[in-house]
Amino acid sequence: MDLFRPVPLPNVEMSGRLQFSDPDVEAAYRHQKFIDTRFIVVLVGFAAAFLAVGLWAWDWAIDPSSAVRVLWLRLLLGAILLVYPVAILAGFPQKFLGPLFAVLVLAAETVFLHLLSRLDSGVVYGIAGFMYWFMLPVFLGLSLPARINGVCFILFALLPNMLVPLGMSPDFELIKYNALIWPTCAMGIFITLLLDQLYRRVFIYRRKVETLASIDDLTGIANRRHFMEISARVLESSRRHGTPVSLIMFDIDHFKPINDNYGHPIGDQVLRHVADILKKSLRKSDFPARYGGEEFAVILPQTMPEKSFIAAEKVRKKIMAEPLILDNEAIHMRVSAGATGASVVSDNMTLEHLIKKADDALYQAKRRGRNQVVLDFG
């Protein structure tokens, strides 16, 4: 249930230009980037395969007599390029996509070099065609880490320099190729790094917005809106798996006199103090939130109603035992609480119904003299 807990804004400082200093943030960034870009990558992958086959028209234009004999190479080229988008759609493990991408494009580049050698004047006119291979990593590699993509660029540029000396396409003019390709390669790497930096900024801003939208900025715990979202998910999970769930509502007793006597800044410190005690007193699976004003709410997954009473009592006693220490005095606080829950969540039980029962129990505690917990079995 830890996934229900709101995550504070992480350390998003960069240890270098290519990664975040926090490994968990870097992993989250890479996963989010993959999720956001995979649709584009798949579309570009299919388009690249179609282009590789469709450029058979270029083969026909420069050498009609040989074009028919190299059609199968064009089809093979397209099939190789199709593997990558299909692998993404099939849910291929993300950590293996980088090596798969490099192998596939290197294989396709090898087939392309062989294709050029079978066309009259192909190795002459085909040098410019290699520029296509440096468009692929920019778009097909969007989902990959920038470092892996940069390595792929260099491997693509080096491949003909390794294959031609080994006897493949001996008429291929490496001097002209390198003069054209290495500036193109450098530009591709630059664009890849630029896009990566841009997306990192988007990721940082997104995390900040998500944090601000879910956290109460005064107390640092979840706000009411986020509490309602998470609690609804917890309730539905309990209904689906047949597990118990409980909910507690806390209210600080006589909070208005604290504000009147000490001022609102001290009242804010009291709210933060109570929120800190809540966080320290509850289990990791429990989800506390500031519900509004001086009222707090907690959803407790996999918790019987009787256990929620014990949890609420623990918090109440801890708040009573730990006053807020100021320069000249200690401010003692008391809280009232209403607890409720269900051992089995019925189909007609709603979150609003559960909150109302806890709220009713809370006001019973208020009417009975405050500084106590009332349990409503419903």
> Tell me, what's the pLDDT at 102?
92
The Cα–Cα gap between 188 and 134 comes to: 6
> Tell me, what's the pLDDT at 241?
92
pLDDT digits (tens, 9 = 90+) for 159-189: 999 999 998 888 889 999 999 999 999 999 9
> Tell me, what's the pLDDT at 10?
47
pLDDT digits (tens, 9 = 90+) for 78-91: 999 999 999 999 99
> Tell me, what's the pLDDT at 68?
93
283: left (phi over 0), alpha (psi -120 to 50) or beta: beta
> Tell me, what's the pLDDT at 3?
41
> Tell me, what's the pLDDT at 222?
94
The Cα–Cα gap between 12 and 60 comes to: 53
- Structural contact between residues 200 and 21, judged by C-beta atoms closer than 8 angstroms: no
Other Cβ atoms less than 10 A from the Cβ of 242: the count is: 9
> Tell me, what's the pLDDT at 129?
82
The Cα–Cα gap between 195 and 145 comes to: 11
Nearest in space to 358 (alpha carbons), one of 336, 337, 338: 338
> Tell me, what's the pLDDT at 240?
93
> Tell me, what's the pLDDT at 332?
92
Which stretches of the chain drop beneath a pLDDT of 70?
1-18, 377-378
Show the CA angle centred on residue 43, arms to residues 41 and 48, nearest 5°. 90
